[in-house]
Structure 1
């Protein structure tokens, strides 16, 4: 069963939509929140939710741009839509987005009778997944090519749950100096696992489009699946 469902904000003063995919029989072993790229809850993000549902999880993808425009869906391979996506990203209040992610965690945990909730994010969502690891009560966190994490390391001391980062070494949004800072800042933390992908660029694990690298995407996704299987059991 799939479709959008409303979620109450933490303040209870509004509602926003999340795409939800449930496993057959609705017997989920845990929940996973998929945090969007700058392109909204588009077909690629929905496919990721659907794949988690096939693996036995209930998956949520909250619409984080809803305050600006609900149900944004953009294609990174279309230049005009890529530019529009950058505009939505720049307008996003990331602290509010984390609160919306917290509200989604609350809804997802209720959906699995108080069970565990993992979070996985891509690009902007990778940054937000890292922020969520520092600020929320999720149980495990995965970041794919998160942007600007080198500027968030002051929060890393709050990380007390398992975290995994997928870092493509040729990411043109996260340059080598930033990657070095991330490694130096996070490698001492026993809760954090870092995986580098040599020569790959931002977006290599997208479900569709020109950015995807099939071999690396499958490797990263298997690592993520194993990570969640271990920490959400």
Structure 2
């Protein structure tokens, strides 16, 4: 179950969702969306993380845009989503992400550290936020912006987990290896998945790779249990 929340920023309240674990409290995770927005898929993954014992905040990153609705009855859903993403000011978006981390740290339900987690667009945003403010962990699924952010790699000091498919037309194998070289250090796990394309965790048949999705989730659960443990688990 989720509830609507308001996340304070310098320009007003950013809407979001909060997912609580059964215990009512736990470590915090700020989950950043794909380019498609806060979809049923993102909500499902937030619920999965809450089931593991985390308090999950999902900010609606498109909140500053006048028209952030995607018409999924049309054939150009991907183009619509790309248009929304490209309408964002990146530095302002990172600032909003930092505000979401601050809100998680202030949340009365959060007991323990706070990490950032993101898919695709959100994976790159999580990486930049982790480089810009103190977080306890970073989990990034095929962060699409990371190739342009590698100069920030030394500033990401939190334990980190990166997932990439090796059949990704958007992030080629050479690009993935360039990312690996830049981010690798003690405390970083870098997982790759043969045959998986971009957005392989998304259940849409256009993207989904069941084997890679399951393996990546197992790796994620293991990483979080080690680096951001839930009391009593």
Q: Same fold (TM over 0.5)?
A: yes
- Structure 2: distance between partners of 1:194 and 1:74: 35
Long gaps (5+) in structure 1: none
Counterpart among 40, 45, 66 of residue 48 in structure 1? 45
Given the alignment of the two structures, is residue 142 of structure 1 paired with residue 139 of structure 2, yes or no? Answer: yes
With normalisation by structure 1, the TM-score equals: 0.90
Q: TM-score, normalised by structure 2?
A: 0.90
Q: C-alpha offsets along residues 59-104 of structure 1, whole Å, 9 cap, x if unaligned?
A: 11110011014764565x9632211100011111121111111111
1:19-34 matches, within 5 Å, as 19-26=17-24, 28-34=25-31
Match status 1:81 vs 2:67: no
Q: How many residues align?
A: 228
Tell me by how many angstroms 1:208 deviates. 4.4
Cα offsets for 1:150-204 (capped at 9, x unmatched): 22111111121111110101111112221221122223x2232111111210011
Within a 5 Å distance, the mapping from 1:101-112 to structure 2 comes to: 101-111=97-107, 112=109
Inter-partner Cα distance in structure 1 for 2:66 and 2:135: 27
C-alpha distance in 2, partners of 1:199/1:17?
37
Q: Equivalents in 2 of 1:218, 1:22: separation in Å? A: 23
Q: In structure 2, list runs of 5 or more residues that go unmatched.
A: none
Residue 39 of structure 1, CA deviation: 0.3
Deviation of the 1:47 alpha carbon:
0.8
Q: Give the Cα separation in 2 of the matches to 1:153 and 1:196.
A: 18
